[in-house]
Amino acid sequence: MSPLEKAQKESIIRRLSFIQVEMEDLNDFQGMDYGTYQQDRAKRRNVERIAENVSNAMIDIGKILLSWQKVEVPGTYREVFTRLHEIGLVSEELAHQLGELSRSRNILAHQYLDIKWETIQKFIAEAPEAVQGFTQIIHEFLQR
């Protein structure tokens, strides 16, 4: 297994830093209720954007690592995490959690408020643990 190229490593590090900032901002939305989500457009846009940004950054990191391993980048975001499991980078459980979180990206772009709220509610509740697990694994990987 050849080492990551400098540009690949730097790209991953930038994305990890971005994820950390976004996840810190997500803390502001703990305890958010549907009424606030529905009525406060600024908060709704912000929390949706955080979910989308975090999902995109993790997917990008996954694609960089798959490309580095010369694994064909799959057609769906969920499969990116499945492939990361297949190459031994993440556990099956974490791959499943991250795959579910990545679905939020599409749901937020194409669904109605009530469906979006369910997605956001789940993201707020589940993302901190899953994202922390992912970023920790990637940090440890980069230090090898």
Whole-structure pTM value: 0.93
Of residues 127 and 3, which shows the higher confidence score?
Answer: 127
pLDDT at 107: 82
27, pLDDT greater than 90:
yes
Residues 11, 18, 23, CA angle at the centre, nearest 5°? 145
3-state secondary structure 71-85: CCCCCCHHHHHHHHH
What are the tokens at 140?
């440890």
The span from the CA of 92 to the CA of 38, in Å, is: 35
pLDDT band at residue 1, thresholds of 50, 70 and 90? low
The span from the CA of 106 to the CA of 63, in Å, is: 17
Structural domains present in the chain? 6-140 (1.20.120.580)
List, in order, residues 6 or more apart from 40 with CB less than 8 Å away.
Answer: none
Q: What DSSP line would sit under 124-140, residue for residue? A: HHHHHHHHHHHHHHHHH
User: pLDDT tens-digit profile of 77-125?
Assistant: 999 999 999 999 999 999 999 999 988 887 877 777 778 898 899 999 9
DSSP, collapsed to helix, strand or coil, labels residue 38 as helix
